[in-house]
A and B are shown apart, each in its own frame.
Chain A
Amino acid sequence: MVRLYEYQGKQILKDNGVPVPEGYVIFRANDVATVLDRIGKNVAIKAQLLTTGRLKAGGIRFASSINEVVSIVNDMIGKEIKGTRVDKVLIEEKLEIVKEFFISITVSDSYKIKGPIILFSTEGGVNIEEVAEKHPEKILAMPIDYLKGIDRDDVKKGIMRLGVPENLAEQLADFVAKLYDVFKKYDAHTVEVNPLVLTKDGRLLAADCRITIDDSSMYRHPELGIEVPRDIARPITEFEKMAWKIEESDYRGVCYFMQFVSDVNEIARGGYIAFHGIGGGACMLASEVLLRRGFKLATYLDTSGNPTAFKVYRGMKVSLSLPNIDGYYLAGAVIANQEQWYHGFAIVKAFREYSKYKPGFPVVILIAGNKEAETHRIITEGLKDVPLRWELYGREKVLDIDFITDRFSKLVEGYKGGDAKAVGSVMDFVEAKGPSEDELRDYLWFKTSTGGEVYVNLKRCVAPNCGFACVKACRWMGTGALKVERGKPSLASRDPESLRRLCSECLACEFYCMVRGSNAIRIVVPVQGLVDVVSKYLHLYR
């Protein structure tokens, strides 16, 4: 679910005819005067955060003079509240409140409901779970038949049963109906107004609001301008933004990346490892063991649902590009159903490249399930002679995460106590470069559907002596972008568009040319934005 800030939610409410207090978002104290000119001097100053409970944490304050407001704004912006740095505040007219209510429309996964449910309470402005415990009689819970929609009269009667007079109940039911329209129109998971206030001058207003939108529906709502629809209760990091682009631009399989630690400076201090699981269940199984054993995880990467080798490689590259990590823990900690050889190719490519930057780097790989034997052969052959501390395990150890973790600890100790030292610049690893213009005439090459480039060095190519390893691999694991022509590998089409379709981005040709042929194929898989982000933090890498 994508959480909206209070001010974003209120804008949506306002656009849809739900009354909200007059207010403006500002990012610096310089703008206070303009805002107070419009709404007067009695105001509330509210830190914009994605977490709840900011009132107790000092995230909502009141003032009645310009100097006071300026000093509060100066104090709030830049301050850390509930683990996030405040970068914007909402300044609103101060309300004279007579009564506070709670209203929420949310989706329930209960087997009895499996649909929307309206929760209404005459006790607003407080934690609703506490009300539910102490005064269940003050809460109206009304499941809604999604296909029929909301019945305003039922809602009104329900509210009256809580002792609200008919006239007010009528107005409240209207309010609920409008919120339900917003809930449907924006594919929301939750539309919550707490408190909904009745003011001295008789207005009903949404004094606060919390809207979450379903992330799977985001493609229907470009108007919301959400850059990264991920469910994280803090601002998205630059690395996460980049990883989202990988996910968004390729629908094949999942590449879910997030940082356990959002601050790159903190990760750079050292002592962190990169975590990568295959499938949600595997990720949870393994990461809980690591956390219990006191490991500090920098990242969480999940590649599952049969992603392409390119997609897996890109996710790994983002993880490996974080500064000064001490090891890579790849846990396919379940018997996976997907075909895993594509993981095999991506793992080999990513670690071969990384080993040049950080020789001796510790890696454990656990891969079990469908195509396990084939995948193990690929990894074993591909990482043979590569200067890393790497170990590979399969189904015999699939649930012995403690054992895998013991091994990993040993490898990390060996690395840190020994040769933990980078060679050259991280940029050599980060930048994906193909042959130069001059060299290009020796190459056969084409572009893939997600901006990759496949280069075959014909001078170096030893076909047919290798048995056309690349073409065979392409037919077997891929979808046939390569063919044999006059005793050499060749492209299956002259049309760039057809080639984009024919190449399934599996990395098999590069791998088999390396192990069976003459290492004449080079595939460049750029990660959009990676060079820029890493350049920014270059001073942190050691």
Chain B
Amino acid sequence: MAILVNEKTRVLVQGITGRTGAFGTRAMLEYGTKVVAGVTPGRRGENVWGVPVFNTVKEAIDEVGPIDLSVTFVPAPQVKDAVIEALEAGIKTIVVPAERVPLHDILAMVGRAKALNARIIGPGSLGLISPGKASVGWIGGARELIEDSFRPGDIGVISRSGGGVTTICWLLSQAGLGISTAVHVGTEPVVGTTGAELLREFQKDDETHAVVVFGEVGGLMELEMAEIMRKGEYEKPIVFYIAGRMLPSGMRFSHASAIIERRSDTAEYKEKLLEEAGGFIAKRPMEIAEIVKKILRR
């Protein structure tokens, strides 16, 4: 089953004729993702790796039929308009790789998605992958790395770091485990889909038997995951690694969301809360696979 994306998901690429758009499209097609159309205003009639290009999202849907998910390879200053166009055309899942998107643009996008009962992954998300089924966005890069790092299986992965998502999946794959779906939530101060919401999805997914989370200092994400666990909305085994222990406060560490301003932002506080809520803590990433194996008795 996996969550959010599978072999049947019909994918649109906005900004398909740009350098990154064309590159991403090729990688997705090679992986077997069902990319059915692309959009670049004014470029109707062209095709990119065989995918037909249209001027607008609506036009694309009229021509190729319903679309489940759009990935927007559009630069940060323009991405709000692209996302809102896709939302208003009725697409329910939008993946946004752009980083450094103006905060109030994010609020407008996320607000619109909420009103239309749709979901945004990102901004600042590398994408997501359901191994053996489909990959959306940038995840994994070259083919050999994808094969090595993303074996199909029953572990869900949630990460706040782009490198983190591939690293966790690689670790699990090397240890003989596999992944149901891996999601990079994005690096921005507000993201469309948080860890708490993804945990609810993984709870519903029959193919997912455990979840691994790459967390960071700063922000509410891990604290709210603990809340979801305490409420019993997520009950499967879960392992956390929180990056950024010992870092000084008052400085931002690359990701806009990774800054320690209060006690609850620290790795130590988050670990304590998550442990109390029934989560397992890996103090070092190397321990993750071992802990998962122990819990699942494999």
Contact = CB atoms under 8 A, between A and B. Distances in A.
Interface of A: 1, 51, 107-111, 114-116, 129, 145-147, 184, 187, 189, 214-217, 219-220, 230-234, 251, 254, 256, 258, 260, 277-285, 287-288, 291-292, 300, 302, 304-305, 333-339, 369-372, 395, 398-400
Contacts of B160: 281
A110 B189 CA distance: 10
Contacts of B210: none
B114 interface: yes
B190 interface: yes
B36 to A, nearest CB: 24
B98 to A, nearest CB: 10
Contact of B107 (A116, A398, A399): A116
Interface in B60-77: 75-77
B99 A220 contact: no
Given A114-B190, A279-B163, A51 B250 contact: yes
Interface stretch (B9-17, B212-220, B272-280): B212-220
Interface pairs A-B: 7 shortest CB-CB: A281-B161, A334-B163, A280-B254, A370-B141, A214-B103, A231-B252, A233-B250
A187 B82 CA distance: 20
Contact of B251 (A233, A285, A372): A233
A107 B103 contact: yes
Contacts of B166: 334-337, 369
Nearest to A52: B261
A337 B103 contact: no
B170 interface: yes
A147 B257 contact: no
Nearest to A114: B110
A271 to B, nearest CB: 17
29 contacts: A51-B250, A107-B103, A108-B220, A109-B190, A109-B257, A111-B196, A114-B111, A114-B190, A115-B107, A189-B103, A214-B102, A214-B103, A216-B102, A217-B104, A232-B250, A232-B251, A232-B252, A280-B216, A281-B160, A284-B161, A288-B243, A288-B247, A305-B99, A336-B141, A336-B163, A337-B141, A337-B163, A369-B163, A370-B142
Contacts of B197: 111
Given A232-B251, A279-B162, A283-B254, A369 B145 contact: yes
B138 to A, nearest CB: 6
Contact of B114 (A114, A339, A370, A372): A114
B111 A284 contact: no
B222 to A, nearest CB: 11
B247 A217 contact: no
A334 B102 contact: no
Contacts, number: 191
Interface in B218-244: 219-221, 224, 243-244
With most chain B CB atoms within 10 A of its CB, the pick from A231, A292, A371, A372 is A231
Contact of B284 (A251, A254, A399): A399
Given A109-B189, A302-B254, A334-B164, A284 B244 contact: yes
Contacts of A400: 286
B145 A281 contact: no
A285 B114 CA distance: 34
Contacts of A334: 161, 163-164, 166-167
A127 to B, nearest CB: 10
B253 interface: yes
Contacts of A215: 100, 256
Given A337-B145, A398-B167, A399-B171, 4 more contacts: A1-B256, A189-B189, A302-B254, A400-B286
A371 B142 contact: yes
A516 B164 CA distance: 36
B231 to A, nearest CB: 12
Contacts of A220: 102
Nearest to B241: A285
A291 B246 CA distance: 7
A146 B164 CA distance: 31
B167 A399 contact: yes
Nearest to B253: A284
A333 B285 CA distance: 11
Contacts of B285: 285, 399
A369 B145 CA distance: 7
Given A107-B107, A109-B221, A399-B285, A288 B262 contact: no
A336 B110 CA distance: 28
B44 interface: no
Given A214-B104, A216-B76, A285-B285, A146 B141 contact: no
B58 interface: no
Given A187-B103, A260-B248, A231 B259 contact: yes
B243 A285 contact: yes
B38 interface: no
B111 A147 contact: yes
Nearest to B145: A370
Contact of B126 (A219, A337, A371): A337
B253 A217 contact: no
Contact of B115 (A147, A184, A219): A147
Contacts of B51: none
A217 B103 contact: yes
Contacts of B220: 108-110
Contacts of A219: 77
Nearest to A219: B77
A396 B250 CA distance: 34
Interface string B91-119: 00000000111111001101110110000
A284 B216 contact: yes
Contacts of A278: 163
Contacts of B104: 146, 184, 187, 214, 217
A77 to B, nearest CB: 22
B224 A111 contact: yes
Contacts of A230: 252
Contacts of B219: 109
A247 to B, nearest CB: 10
A369 B77 CA distance: 30
Given A215-B256, A217-B104, A285-B285, A280 B161 contact: yes
B248 A337 contact: no
Contacts of A285: 243, 285
Contact of B101 (A146, A216, A256, A282): A216
A438 B216 CA distance: 56
Given A291-B247, A292-B246, A335 B253 contact: no
Contacts of A187: 102-104
Nearest to B262: A129
Given A216-B256, A300-B253, A370-B145, A281 B162 contact: yes
Contacts of A300: 253
Contacts of B162: 279-281, 304, 337
Nearest to B161: A281
Nearest to A372: B145
Contacts of A337: 126, 138-141, 145, 162-163, 166
A300 to B, nearest CB: 7
